[in-house]
Structure 1
Amino acid sequence: MQILKTVLIVEDNEINRELLHTLLASEYQVLEAENGQAALDVLKIRYEEIALILLDINMPVMDGYTFLSQVKGNSLFSSIPVIVTTQSDSEADEVSALSHGASDFVPKPYKAQIILHRAASIIRLRENAAMINQLQYDRLTGLFCKEFFYQRVREILQLYPERKFNIIASDIENFKLINDIFGVAAGDRLLQGIADQYRQIVGDRGIYGRLNADQFVCLLEKNGEYTNDMFARTLEKVNALPNAQKVVMKWGVYYIEDRMTPVEQMCDRALLAAHGIKGQYGKHFAAYDDKLRGELLRQQAIIDSMETALSDGQFLIYLQPKYRIRDNKLVGAEALVRWNHPEWGLQFPDEFIPLFEKNGFIAKLDQFIWDKACAILKEWDDRGYLPISISVNVSRADIYNINISEILMGTVRRYGLRPSRLHLEITESAYTEQPCQIIETVRRLRELGFVIEMDDFGSGYSSLNMLNQMPLDILKLDMKFVQGETGKSVGQGILQTIVELARRMRLSVVAEGVETKEQLDRVTETGCDYAQGYYFAKPMPAQDLEALLKDRKAEERQKEDECSEHPHFSISLRPMRQFLIVADEDPHYRNTVEKTFLRHFKVEYCAEADSLLAYVARHKDQIAAALISRTLPGLEGSAVYEKLKKELSVWKIPVLVTGTQDSEAEERAFELGAFDYADKPHTTKSLLKRTLHAIRLSSFQERENTLQNEANQDHMTGFLNRRGLEAAIRTMGKEDTPFAFCLFDLDNLKQTNDTLGHTEGDRLILEVTRLIRAQSRKSDILARFGGDEFIVILKQIQSADVVVKKTKEICRALKKIAFEQDIQASVSVGIVISDSMENGMEGVFKRADMALYHAKINHKGSCCLWEGEIGGTSKPSV
């Protein structure tokens, strides 16, 4: 029996509640509340089972906005998506609802298919994001992710207090060069190969993980002394990998003596040892020693003098100008900090900022910078310069300060400035820690009028679903995007995609690190709005930037810069470098649509189905969305619809069908995969809003689907993993029966690994993978169930004899693989034929497991077909 997801309807109008209840009851379990307070009472009891909230805004007792604030402010409820339903169709109301934390906005009167479509999409996005965030493994390599590795080390050290352990960390010396020359894909394959080396070398003597891009780490039980030759041999194995190109790696060893030392610090010290020998030819490893302790003493000296430095005015503000690309006009600056130490001289931020972030002093330093930045802006305003904005850093420590809003508002008010003059830069990685709290804090700051910039976008690992929740105005691209892939089509495509995504989310884009004319041309071509970097100007003292402002003519100030009047650089969408295709038989309608859409898209027309199909076939990679009239000449037959659906890559291009109000036609459009159905007549402004919404949501859905597929996949074989297998089984129905459930088990994998090494063991696994795939169809379910077990579900089989024949061929083919030391490769198979899905897979699995056991005890390397009931007998088919 299928368990229905639960939807909570919050609506004061009884008729509307009853209507929504009727629409949703076939797909969901429905709860009702007549106002916001009643809904909160329901949430307190049943929040764990509620998948979605449909919320009216205008209600007595507690209105929708108050309810949204309460929900998003409670960590128990904040992850539940909310779709706002309201009689108003104004853009202001939509923006207000979304800014309060709503996931979507649906106007009244209700349309059944749209309600069901939006509800299913939002629930699926939430489920995918929750699943992905629970992953404990690095997606690329399959090793432990950094946080989970730290957790496991702490557990092991507590579990085995009598054993001696070491932390060994590695870093690739020339990894960026590898990515630049051979491409990111080649770099990823190299990282996967290195991860395999860690698995083989560490084995069951410890655990291993991936810390950052090219940094790996392991906890290893101490077994003798380490030598340079040991690591040299490991490096030889790395360079023997197919994707290696003269790789240089350095290892650092930290001998664990004090178990009270934080695991993060242990890994840092191991990496510090590795970094200390970078560039030293022939030296492959180093241990954390007195020299490194000296560096820590230096860090301690910095910490000891930081308070005095702040009170004595040793910290200086430097400003790096930001320029608007379209006219090369100075429109703002980024505030940076330097330390003018009386003994050490001028110190750059990478020397002290990481330490301050760790010990919390960064909060004091940030407040000092905020105050100085506002003082500079006030001084320039008093002198009559064109008002610009200054971007300042907001660290994690600042965000967790419950008084941050009061501190920032007090600072700008003290100098008589609007909050929009101060842009708050928050790094992408900051959103990954307690995102709900951070998002709520930043949303409050944005509501107060501050401009929010996501700094270093592309350097972290936040999901697109989380990006959708972030209260942002501006994306600042990590300089790697600008500097690392100049002139490469892959890099250009990534940059173009990010800029287009920003357009759809109504965000401006700043490119950092622009150092050459070539890089400027590149970011200009992709549509970035603003740039900063050495090509324009280096960071400079405030008086030098003031000299640049003096050079601006008074008339240009009034015309060109509006930073003091607008909440951020630009909230309007720039003309997109993608096409909108309007397929409609009415030329007047096409012309009306073009006038409204032209500032966002290049509009192309089609007047009948054949030209539409031809255009899509040629340009589908450039199409942002398609508006298709249901009465378009040539679309009468279902075959044409199916062909169009195929050409649009299963509707990855969002499609809005237009036509007169017709419930059957609307239902047909959604069945074919359309995102929306727009009744004619309609305003083009309303159509534009719906189109932009479709583009934005479809891009997130596509990304979430990709992430979900990767989370369900075994990285080594490409088969489904256990999670993916369970999901695939849930999609099976009567049309897939009768089916064969085949349980494969590699008979000698452990012996192969122990005797010949994991490389040969992996070879054996991949051979079985290849053989299974060769005997299967695309519609069959292929999964790696464990280290040496595979499950294959063959759908719609014609006879048991066909299945037995296929498995016999796999068993025979594997035996022909040659291994050294007389190890015989073989696989045994248990088979169950079933013509019903009613009792689930548990019983089928048990019978297959018993059949597999029968095969193994009779003759390894054979298959056995179950022909009895549980507890009965099975007849081997050898």
Structure 2
Amino acid sequence: MSASPSEPSPIDSNAMLRLVVDAAPGLMAYFEAGTMRCRFANQGYANYYGLTPSSVLNKLPWEILGQESWQAIAPHIERCLRGEYVCYTRQARSPQGTQREMEVRLTPHLEQGVLRGAVVQVRDLSLDRAVEQQQRESEERMRKFSEATQEAIVLHRNGLIIDANPALLRMTGYSLDELRGQSVINHLGPEYWLPALEAMNSGKDVSYEVTVRHKDGHLIPMELDARAMPMDQGAQDYRLVVLRDITQRHRDRAQMRFLAHHDALTGLPNRLYLTDQLQQLIASAKLHSTHVSVLCLDLDRFTTINDSLGHQAGDQVLCEVAQRLRSCVRSTDLVARAGSDEFIVVLTGGPTRAETEIITRQVTTLLEMPCHVADQQLVIATSIGIAIFPEDGDSAEALLRNAGAARNLAKDSGRNHHQFYTPELEGRASRMLNQEQLLRQAIALGGFELHYQPLVRTDNSALAGFEALVRWRHPQRGLVSPEEFVPFAESRGLITAIDRWVLRQACSQARAWHALGLPRVPVAVNMSALEFRHHNLAAEVATVLAETGLPPQLLHLELTESTLMQSDVQVQHTLRALQQLGVELAIDDFGTGYSSLAYLKRHPIHQLKIDRSFVNDIAESDDDAAIVKAIVQMAHSLRLHTVAEGVETAAQFDRLRELGCELVQGFHIAPPMAAEEARQWQTKYCHARQAQ
């Protein structure tokens, strides 16, 4: 026989009661009516007063609570002993010293009308009160936040507005009473009704851009964040919607799109937009077999305006040019600013070559009309290159490139006129690039040499110095004079390296001649106008003089009149620094520029070099003689020396001596010579003079 399953042991009811009561929330105890002694307490009650369930038994209430607390609750106890159900709250200090708010329930235990005892139930309300206080504070914070925030907040249910914060009312112009009960959808732009309904029905959190209708009817672009606020099961969720006005963001986007395709100063389309539009115009012209003309304009000597009047004046000129160009073409034509002072005009409507030339002349005439800038009247001259589709190119890139090549030819041919593109210009850009590369190689490999032309005094024919003249050893053409490559080097930013080499080489050569016992006469070096705008020119000159050992007074630097006329603060600072260094300054080709007593007086100039154009006919021309005499007298009154350039005959030499010009140079004395030839010439010349 198999063993019968064992019967479960009977449940201990007292143990179960103890377990249930200990697990119940709150404090619980039972006091006997007659003796007032504690006959039962759960774990929580005993622990609260620092006791155990066994040690609390048989204690009197005041032994557990203390006399002060007992006196406070005695009236409530008396009511319970009369058979009343009592509930009250009181402030009590726990054994740990914290102030607590307690809810006490006293339930009388009656058997057949006889009071046997009382059940005491105590619940600590402090946590509930703290939670309620936090909730009130949170609600107050949210209320203040919703009132203070610049973001609009609206609460709706089933799409009907329930509440909104002041920011929404300010943005939309409505009052809260006007909005309550209104459909949220009806206040959006029509194009957003369907997306908003779909988002609302989905119950999901969403973010997107909308437009909200103001009370006066205009639409406000806004960014919307909608969040579901779940309610009890089965109830329709509330939705909290936060709206931010993004009007400025839209304006910024529009401005960025505009600036991406337009010039910020003039408001004209830029090169990027121009190229795109020109390509579209070419595609249309191909379809209809018509022409498109491209005019590439460049303002002549625009840097002079910037340098003399300032960049603000230059900006005014650019804006004036932009306005004039827009006014002289049709609305269907395109005007763009492609660079610093470069403008492009695209003529549409199939203009012929003759019609294009007429419009170009009109543009030139309009631009030449005087304009007032910085209290001065200016005349704007421009060089224009023209390329026509389809003859001169079948793409935007080709037309712009060829119009630019024609413009460059117009500038090189004297400026202030226009030039049509011709096939002969095709290789011009390549030739220019090749020349630039050759010059760069010459700089890197030392492909230059100096020739020296002597200066002598007119009163005793004594040697007075040398002018160093640079030559380029061209790989195909041999020696090339500076007139052929210096302007090109300046335009390509190469002149600084060349000038620095010339300066060092001339100083070294002069010092070497002096070491050989030859006359200690100065050497003159021509410097580009760009060099005087460099803040470190004086320092570099000082370094070269120190390294070569040439005394500063034996170095003369020559500059042009235009450099002084266009001088800025940096040029003036450089000239003063060179003067303090002891280097003398000479104005080259004097009389061909903007001669002015003002700048001669203002700047530390030591010498004027009279241009050869006044010397050529000086022996026969009374007018030229009068000009030279005036220059000499003016120079003497300012304590300046004069040098006549290009003296080729004895008659010229004698006439200059009669007019008081102190120094001369030219083929009558000697041509420019290589260094060794110049050394030999000095030796012979000095011996010849000693023999006289």
| Structure with a larger share of its residues in strand | 2
